[in-house]
Structure formats: structure tokens, C-alpha cells
Structure 1
Amino acid sequence: MATVPEGRAPSAPTPDGPPQPSARADAPTPGEPPQADATDFEHVLGPGSRFHTLFDDPRWALALIRATVLEAAHPQVGAALLDNSTFVTHPWRRLRNTLLSLQRIFGTSDDVRRREAARLNRLHGRLHGTDSRERPYHAMDPEARAWVVATLFDSVVTMHRLSGQPLAQEAMEQLYGEFHAFLAVLGDHAGHLPDSLQGFWQYYDRVVEEELENTEAARIILYKLFDHLPAPPLLTGVPALWAAGRALGGPVVGAITVASLPESFRRRAALPELPGAQTLMQGAYVAAGLARFLPAGWLSADGIMALLDMSPQSDDPRARTVTALQHRIKRAAALLRLLNPLPDPVPEPEDGPGAYTAGGAYAGAGAGSGAGVRRASETFFREVLDQTGDGYLDWPDLAAMARELSTRLDLDEPEETRLYNAYADWWRELQRALDTDGDGRVSAREYAAAAPSLAGPALIRVAEVLFDATDKDGNQSIDADEYRTLFRTAFRRDTAASAAAYSRSAFVGDFLAFMSARHRSTPFDPLLADA
């Protein structure tokens, strides 16, 4: 789990709303559509592009992990990830959103492409601060953005080479032109990527040799993320099975990724290379490349991500099938325990374990159970409020919530800014109520000591703004389609929703009950708590 180094000043909203970036002469103004040139992006980035063919290529998963490590090794990108990203606590959500964004950029519609670019620019414009060495970072920095695109291009080229299918020069030139167009869509025209492919490799080697560092964000991805990777929503019901698979797969993925990184960076960052890692890496890429011989449609990125992201309570028939399989696994495990019983567990204290039951109440935390309530509050703090996983509640955590909700609802201006501003108001209210030591952030202990203060006027305002953003037709109720857009499932009996509509009062009541930790197992649980 990521930690915040001592002395780092947490990012905080400005008096008029969320953190705003400083002006840059060479970057688009956050919140405004990027002013791209006259390139025919539909022709360059559409379904006929080389990059578009990678979405359903299983080798792309290995290449994307490699690119993410190289991105995180850049001081600016690594600092932004460490302070603001949910990639540690909510990696599946982050992966899904990244895939969705790339599909929009490399899709068929120029309007969708430009709209997504404007959204990305607004998102990046809100991410700025200083790293642990007091160096400023800004996610709109054009050199950092160019490096992110460079790592994607290089990782695709490396992916083909390691799997025994190197790209021809012409194909490589075409792919490089597509990534240049990607930057142009974002509005970056300053030429931070060289025009020629030959110039790119010189640029790439220079950045690797002179600018990359063994950042904390890169170390987390390599050595902590996969070892502690939370189960995707659909597999949360089989924790033992997931833990066993993760214990085996985590070190393997880490070793493969390290072996695929540039040798000069591995040497300078003192990254250990296990014996046989190079052979394992090449075998993994070759094996993934053989999947191209499978029947068409068997490997679909959309289908795989939809399945992994599916909640066990989803109305999708596939979820019911997997849930039934989970029940069979649990029954088999129970039978094994009967045949080979474990030692008697240590009894819980009288005030109970303080965990949530399936119905959302505190288990063992009755009216006089202060310790149980406190432990339950700390669980809610860790699973829901601490979105970035640094052990504290501060503005980046609430901004991550606003970012996820805005992405789900595909909000434009000004609705997106209204939601961010509502969360910023709530953060200021939380600081006044809970930050007892004045360090600009709220610890789990501070939160647990005054959890009821969460449900104040600012949180009610967040619920109201979220309802308005979800209620697209403005009829003061959320219908089935609007409900599915936000929660990715149909109306369920365990919510306050009727079969026809979800009223404003019911929506606001459920949101307040969830965000103040009074009730789990609401539709907001998979929205903000799942990985």
C-alpha cells in the first residue's frame, strides 16, 4: 500500500472549488476542448489503425503493465500517481477506465474522441502538487504527457519483438504516426515527441538514461501491487482461492515485467533479476501471442473486463453462474474442514468483531459496543474513504470519488465541475470537523472518533448534485436506464427503488446512509468500495 512520505504537503481545494492548475503557455486550459490541428483523426485513429487491433490482443496486458512501470519511473508521473491515483486500492476500476478511454480515443467518432480528450485534460488539470523531494509536478506537463505516450509506443514494439513477431519498419512508422496523432488530439503541439522514428529512439534512450528514477510508485507496481492485488468484484466471494492464485501469479508477473524493462534502467535502479526470468518473460509473450489462433470472439477485452467488473449481485446471467460456482466451492471447503478440522478459533471480545454483516449492520456492535463500532468505522474508512490507499483521508481521495462518478456518468462541463465543487465543499467540512491535529488530512482514528460528523449539509449537497447528474431527463426520478448507467445493474429489491423509478429522497437517503457508514450493501457499495 502506498504511503505518504513525511513532510509532503497534501493537495487541498482552493477556496472556490477543487485544486486548479497553474496556467501553462504550452498546454490547453483545463476544462476547455483541446484545439487540435486539421489532421484526419478518424482516418488515423479509427478502426483501421494498428493500435486499434491491440485491444483484444492478450499480449497487450503484459505490454500495458510494462508501460505503466516506465510511466511511474518518470518523477512527474510517479508523483502524480502516488498522490492521486487509485491504482493500488482500486486497480480493476483503474484498468477498466483506462481501457474505456483508449477505446474512445481510437474509436470511430471524432466527436467522441475530442470529448474524451477534453475530459482527460480536465482530469489532468486537477492533478498537481509537490513530490517527497519538494519538486513540483503537474499532470498537464507536456513532457510528462509525451513520455506516457512514448512508453505505450515502445511497449507495443517490444511486445511484438518478444513474442517473435517484430514489426516491419513500415508498420512501426504507421504506429508511431498514430501515437503522434494521439498527442495532437490531446492538444499537445509543442513537439515533445520527435517527428521521426529515428529521432524517437534517441529521445527514448536519453529519457531512460537521464530522467527515469526508481520511484516509489514504480516499486509499488512491481513489488506490492500484484502481491496484494484485491480480487475483482466477481471473485470477492472466494478469497482463499484468489489469495492462492495471487501468491503464485504475483511474483511471476513481477519477474516478467522487470525482465522486459530496458537493461540500463534495471541496472541503474538496482532491480533484481531472477535466474531464468528472461526465458520466462519470452515464454509468456510467445504463449500470449499464440492466442491469435483461437476462434474470433473468444478473447474480447470488453467481455473480460465486463466479467471481472461484474458484482455478484448483478442481474447478468454470467454473474449468477459464477455465484453458483462460488457456493459449490464454499461447500467443498466446508466439507474439507469437517474432515480435517482446524483448531478452535480464539473467541472474540464481548463487544464483537465490528465487521459488517451482509445486511449492512454492524456485526456484534450493539448499542453499547463502542469498540465494535470503531473497528467497523475503520473498515469503512479503509474500503471506501481512503481511495488512494495512503492511510489518510484528504482531498485526492474525494477527488477520486468525483472522478469515478464523472466517468461513470460521462459528464461534460458544467456538471462535472459542479460535482467536484460539491466534493470540495464536503472536504472543507470534514477538515473542520475531523482534522483535530491540524495536519491537513484525516486519519482513520480521527474519523472513527467522530464518524457521525460525515452526514452534514455538504454531504447532502453532494448527494443532490449526484442525483441531478444521474437524472439526465430532469424528471426528478431515476429510471431503469439512468440507474444502470450509474450502478451497472438493474433495480434491486434491497434498495429503496421501486420497479419503475428511484426517487430523489430515496437516492439521497441511500447515499447518506452509505457515506456515513450507517448502511452497507447498498447500490453504492460496488460503485465506491469495490476494487
Structure 2
Amino acid sequence: MEIGSLFGADSQFHRFFNDPRWALAMLRATVLEAAHPQIGAALLDNSTFVAHPWRRLRNTLVSLQRMFGTDDAVREREAARLNRLHARLSGADVQNRPYDAMDPEVRAWVVATLFESSVTMCRLSGQPLDQDTMEQLYAEFRAFLAALGSDAGHLPPTVPEFWVYYDRMVEEELENTEALRIILYRLFDHLPAPPLLDGLPTVWAASRALAGPVIGTITVASLPEPFRRRAGLPEVPGAQTLMQSIYLTAGLARFLPDNWLKTESLTNLLYLTPDPSPDGDSHAATLTALRGRMKRAGALFRLVTPFPAQREPADGTTPLRSAGDFFTAVLDQTGDGYLDWPDLAAMARELASRLDLDEPEETKLYNAYAAWWRELQAALDIDGDGRVSKDEYAAAVPSLAGPALIRVAEVLFDVTDADGNDFIDAEEYRALFRTAFRRTLPGAEARYSRSEFVQDFLSFMSGRRSSTAFDPLLAGA
């Protein structure tokens, strides 16, 4: 069977992709990935999953759609992009053990967790896969690995051999890593609101307080028992029953109309904004009404719950953040409390993903950020530990609009200006910001000049001024 025949709308993967249970399976797979020492170390050092989990989720889903789509050219281009991204992720963990995101055995384990968790979600929800379906799904995931340019031989050739491999990995390779503990015990407790609920902290806090512990409990309960025992993960009374009940309930969604649960539609909904689009999209009015109802619900929650009052900024204001708030919201992309190269690399990675850049534009953007990091490190790293703490940043009260940051703004403008006419038009603006123009620009042919763009970017990055365009891009969850 050729690789191409294993992808597309008729694949088993696409059937699962729009299945609500797959959200639970993806979370479970992520935990199993984080339990691998190399992957756990790479996540801690480079990933934005703590500070920007919704952004990470959306990017992952978009990437999977491209890789499993029908267009071979799109798949090859996405594979090349992923390989460039992963080639930049290497280092060592706290025990000085090296990690490399291009390690073929590590990549094989990532794919293995996706396959195994898909099989497990069906079993836990009372709909186990038959052997033919399981073998088809396994062939698709091995083809996915091969499409990345990795040797599919790092996964066993048959399903029976896979289970031997999987059991060995669980027994011998997985650890109770810090990344795993963060996902299970910190992420759900501090999960930031998705963009749709941004500005409605009380509604989100109440929802998270109810759902967070349940999600954590059922995720732990779904992990392989030998690993739970060896890692010392807690056994919560009734967790197995709760887990199976939730999987069964999610499985009932298969009886809903197909167009109700399209993963792409649901993830796009998270990123809708109330700004009108140039083509008069009616989603804006619907979202505005929805947010109005949520705000009224939030007011009710504040009356009947003990959550502390949250101050919401007045519409139309652009308040200055404190240096500490700016550091946390914008500069510390990985959420580890420090500013170092992985934080700025994460900014470059998100911008390159938004704009779907190829070489050499992608490398130009990374190089501009690397030069800015060297400038920041020289100016702010007082104790010489190779990173900048929040205190170092706040104490310096820096003016960040140096030559390197100006170069970042110039390069970002150049790669956003796809047609090279020295203006950013509405379509190019949406590619970067995912919104219509959030600026007051006259006329139907609204355009964003180079000088305006650079000025706004520098004002945001150096003046710590809130921006309705740049906040969702660099500070949003």
C-alpha cells in the first residue's frame, strides 16, 4: 500500500480527528510523551504549553490536518517545516542527559503514543477497534512517521509487535518527569482562558475550578497501571469509574450531526474576535452577543461565589503594564520565570507558523530574534547566568527599542508583506493577526505602512503598552 493512500478524508485518522473522545486521547498521549526523558526535557526548555496552551493546541491540530490531508505537496511542505522546527530543539536536561527532537527513536515514541491513545480511547468508551481497523490506523501512523523523513522501522512493522515495543517503553523508558507533573498538577489548576473567554475571568475561573480536577483525575486513571505504580501517581477512589463514564458520554456524541463537531470549526471558534471582517462575516455579531451573555453570567458568579473580584480593562483603553506584568505576559513565553533564547525562539516560531513561512524568510526571522537576544543578554543579564530574571528586567527598567529590536520589526514587516509592495493589506494583516483590521484606517483599501507597523511593534515591545493586535499574537494563551 502506497503512503499516499493512507492519508485523506477516508482515513481512520480523519474519523478520529473529529471525535470528541480524541481530545482526551490527545491529552493522554501528551502525558505519555512528557514521561519520556528526552521529550520531557525538550518540553520544559522550549515549549509554550504552560503559558500558551491554547496556541500550542491549535498549532498542533493544524499541523496534523496538513500531514493527514489529501494534498501531497502540502504534506511535504509541512513535514519540511516540522523538521526545521525540531532541528532547532536540542540540549540537555537537569541530569545533563542530552535531548534532540530529531532523534528517530524519540519521534517514533511520539507517533506511538498517538496510535496507542487512539486505540485506548475506543476501548475505554466501550467501542474497541476490530483488528482490521486497528491495523489500518497503525499503517497510517507509520506512514505519518515516514512522511516526516524518519525511518518507519523505528516502529515495529506489525500491531502485535507494537504492543511488545509499547510495553517495553512503559516499563523501561518512561519516568515521572517534571514536565509530566506540570501537565497533571499545574496546567489544569492555572490553565489560562482561551481567547474567546479572555476578559471574562470569573466565568473562566468557575469553569476551571470544576473541570480541572476532573480532567487531571481521569487522565491519571487512563495511564498504564505499571507506569502509574512506578511513578507513584495517586489512586483516587472511583477514578476508574469516573474515567469510563466520561469516555462513554463523549462517545455518545457520534449520534450528533456530523457538522456539529468539526474539530477545525471548534478550534476556530476559540479564536474568533468581535471585530467585523471585510467581507461582512456575521460571526462577529454572534460572538458579540455571546460575550455579552457571558459577562452577565460573570456578574452573577461574582455575586454567588467566593472568587476574588477581577478588574476588567475599559474598552478602548491602552494601559501601560508594569515591567513585571509585561515580562510574564509577553517575554516569558515558556512560563519558567526567566527570559532566555527559547522564549524569543518561541516568538519567532509562532510568527513563522502564523505566516506559514518557508526558507529563507523563516531563518531571517529567527536570526533577527537571535540578534535581539544577544542584545538583551548583554544589557540585562547582571549575574551572568545566561538568562534574564524578572527582577533583573524590572530593575533595569530597560528601553528595549535598540537596533536589534528595530531589525526584528523590519524583518517581521518584510515577511508579512507577501506581495512586496511595502504595505500590509487586509489579507496579509489577517494572516498575521487572524483578525480584520483592529486599527482605524480610512477607506476600503485600508493599508498598513512600514513606518506605522514598526512604530506600533516598538511601542508594544518597548513601551509595554497593551495592543489589541499584538496582545493576542504574543501574549495570548
| Aligned counterpart in structure 2 of residue 212 of structure 1, from 174, 180, 199 | 174
1:281: Cα distance to partner? 0.6
Structure having the larger proportion of residues in helix: 2
CA distance in structure 1 between the aligned counterparts of 2:297 and 2:78, rounded to whole angstroms: 47
Match of residue 65 from structure 2: 103
The 5 Å alignment of 1:239-278 reads 239-278=201-240
Match of residue 32 from structure 1: none
Match of residue 196 from structure 2: 234
Percent identical pairs in the alignment equals: 70
CA contact (8 A) 1:234 1:312 kept: no
1:357-382 CA distance string (max 9 Å, x none) = 852233xxxxxxxxxxxx71110110
Match of residue 121 from structure 2: 159
CA contact (8 A) 2:145 2:152 kept: no
CA distance in structure 2 between the aligned counterparts of 1:228 and 1:143, rounded to whole angstroms: 32
CA distance in structure 1 between the aligned counterparts of 2:267 and 2:476, rounded to whole angstroms: 14
**Amino acid in structure 1 at the alignment position of 2:419:** D
> How many residues matched?
471
1:421-444 CA distance string (max 9 Å, x none) = 000000000001111111111111
**Amino acid in structure 1 at the alignment position of 2:39:** V
CA contact (8 A) 1:385 1:398 kept: yes
The 5 Å alignment of 1:275-294 reads 275-294=237-256
The 5 Å alignment of 1:462-481 reads 462-481=408-427
CA distance in structure 2 between the aligned counterparts of 1:428 and 1:81, rounded to whole angstroms: 23
**Amino acid in structure 1 at the alignment position of 2:58:** R
1:449: Cα distance to partner? 2.5
1:265-307 CA distance string (max 9 Å, x none) = 0000111121111111111111111101001201111111111
CA separation of 1:516/1:170 partners in 2, compared to 1, >3 Å: closer, same or farther? Answer: same
CA separation of 1:389/1:494 partners in 2, compared to 1, >3 Å: closer, same or farther? Answer: farther
CA contact (8 A) 1:41 1:110 kept: no
CA separation of 1:505/1:498 partners in 2, compared to 1, >3 Å: closer, same or farther? Answer: farther
Instruction: State TM-score, norm by structure 1.
Output: 0.84
CA distance in structure 1 between the aligned counterparts of 2:55 and 2:286, rounded to whole angstroms: 22
The 5 Å alignment of 1:508-523 reads 508-523=454-469
Say if 2:452 is the partner of 1:490: no
| Aligned counterpart in structure 2 of residue 417 of structure 1, from 351, 363, 388 | 363
Secondary structure of 2:260's aligned partner:
coil
The 5 Å alignment of 1:81-100 reads 81-100=43-62
CA contact (8 A) 1:237 1:326 kept: no
The 5 Å alignment of 1:299-318 reads 299-313=261-275, 315=277, 317-318=282-283
1:496: Cα distance to partner? 10
Say if 2:14 is the partner of 1:52: yes
CA contact (8 A) 1:226 1:251 kept: yes
1:341: Cα distance to partner? 13
Secondary structure of 1:453's aligned partner:
coil
Task: Extract structure 1 runs of 4+ deviating beyond 6 A.
Answer: 339-342, 495-498
CA contact (8 A) 2:203 2:298 kept: no
| Aligned counterpart in structure 2 of residue 65 of structure 1, from 27, 41, 47 | 27
CA separation of 1:359/1:67 partners in 2, compared to 1, >3 Å: closer, same or farther? Answer: same
CA separation of 1:81/1:340 partners in 2, compared to 1, >3 Å: closer, same or farther? Answer: closer
Say if 2:327 is the partner of 1:327: no
CA distance in structure 2 between the aligned counterparts of 1:403 and 1:203, rounded to whole angstroms: 33
CA contact (8 A) 2:423 2:447 kept: yes
CA distance in structure 2 between the aligned counterparts of 1:174 and 1:334, rounded to whole angstroms: 51
Match of residue 138 from structure 2: 176
1:519: Cα distance to partner? 2.1
Match of residue 439 from structure 1: 385
Match of residue 528 from structure 1: 474
Match of residue 405 from structure 2: 459
CA separation of 1:360/1:209 partners in 2, compared to 1, >3 Å: closer, same or farther? Answer: same
| Aligned counterpart in structure 2 of residue 193 of structure 1, from 134, 152, 155 | 155
CA distance in structure 2 between the aligned counterparts of 1:336 and 1:203, rounded to whole angstroms: 50
CA contact (8 A) 2:318 2:465 kept: yes
Secondary structure of 2:9's aligned partner:
coil
Match of residue 317 from structure 2: 359
CA distance in structure 2 between the aligned counterparts of 1:264 and 1:133, rounded to whole angstroms: 24
Secondary structure of 2:99's aligned partner:
strand
The answer to which of 444-453 and 207-216 deviates more is 444-453
**Amino acid in structure 2 at the alignment position of 1:74:** H
CA distance in structure 2 between the aligned counterparts of 1:288 and 1:90, rounded to whole angstroms: 26
**Amino acid in structure 2 at the alignment position of 1:434:** L
**Amino acid in structure 1 at the alignment position of 2:469:** P
The answer to which of 316-325 and 183-192 deviates more is 316-325
In structure 2, list runs of 5 or more residues that go unmatched. Answer: none
CA contact (8 A) 1:497 1:503 kept: no
**Amino acid in structure 1 at the alignment position of 2:50:** V
